[in-house]
Amino acid sequence: MTTLFEKIIAREIPANIEYEDEDCIVIHDIDPQAPIHLLIIPKCVIPRIAESDTSDPALIGRLFQKASYLAKKLNLEKGFRLVVNNGFDGGETVPHLHIHVLAGRKLEWPPG
């Protein structure tokens, strides 16, 4: 079954794209939980972080480096939060690993 993110990557579904390279696409979340809410999505399908295997560490590292790059590009020096949901109880709604980048307001703790 093709995920929503695969359809976005294939341009079958439109999205507001912030950044793209050979590893990933970064889009604006359609239901933002902060003034800035981006999704860093790998182009290869990894269903969730708990299912990443030993061939994925370099890619996963590059995804987190993209978050750092985006924080600099978007002047998020006041701070930002990275979130990776895993499984239904963890808040996962799309079975395709992605990193949420939340910023633009003071983020509370605990998150919810």
Catalytic residue among 37, 96, 98, 100: 98
98 is catalytic: yes
Give one DSSP letter per residue of 14-79, joined into a string. Answer: ---EEEE-SSEEEEE-SS-SSSEEEEEEESS----GGG--TT-HHHHHHHHHHHHHHHHHTT-TT-
- The C-alpha atoms of residue 56 and residue 69 are separated, in whole angstroms, by 20
DSSP-assigned letter for residue 93: -
- CA pair distance 41, 71, nearest whole angstrom: 16
The catalytic site residues sit at 98
